[in-house]
Amino acid sequence: MVKKEALERILITREKFFEVESEIRFHEHLRRYAAVRRFCYGRVLDFASGCGYGSFLLSANPDVESVTGIDKDSDAIAWARKEFKGDKTDFRCQDIEEVNEKYDTLVSLEAIEHFDDVSLIPRLAARCGVDNVIVSYPNKKSTHFNKYHVHDFSNQDIVNLMEGYVCYHGFTMGDVQFLLFTRKPLKAPAHLYRNLIDLR
């Protein structure tokens, strides 16, 4: 007979623990893509798309014409093509500096903190004539414990980086911040826009 005290505890192996933790991470990633899907439209570029499930999820929005996922990892792109290629999805292993087609929406989730050159995203948006940009990044310091993160950002850092765009929406999910930008009309007076202040 099992003692009452033992029933109040979760007896789990280390192997099972890591399996569950991995599942939680995966579901968090899906939730982030699901959260921004409704803001996407037209031709969508998913920058640093990884294994493709996020791009596939974005493509389910009826306002989305197509989703192109781009990543520098050839193995990830091979997986994406095998598992998530569809009528509205395409995946490319391509240097971001070579991308110059026209897109309506640019999505970049938890990627900018990995880049030495943070101007990659605004340059890409400008080069591809993107009107709608969706960016997410950690909303707390992470460079001290994640060796792959080379930058910590405040909201204002990202707003300042996206010159020529105005932030029209922002929200948080757990320890991730999302900012959404639209291109400023060329003839609009600058004083009509104000940057999003850093509330942290």
Q: Do 64 and 41 touch, CB atoms closer than 8 A?
A: yes
Q: Which CATH number fits domain 14-187: 3.40.50.720, 3.40.50.300, 3.40.50.1220, 3.40.50.150?
A: 3.40.50.150
Query: Please, what is the Cα angle at 150 between 148 and 153, to 5 degrees?
Result: 120
pLDDT tens digits for the chain (200 residues)? Answer: 445 555 567 788 888 888 887 787 777 888 999 999 999 999 999 999 999 999 999 999 999 999 999 999 999 999 999 999 999 999 999 988 899 999 999 999 987 775 777 788 899 999 999 999 999 988 754 444 445 445 577 788 888 888 889 999 999 988 889 999 998 765 545 544 444 444 33
CB atoms within 10 A of CB 107: 27
Strand order in the sheet with 132-138: 89-93, 64-71, 42-47, 105-109, 132-138, 176-183, 165-173
HEC states along 124-151?
Answer: HHHHCCCCEEEEEEECCCCCCCCCCCCC
Q: How far apart are the C-alpha atoms of 89 and 55, rounded to whole Å?
A: 7
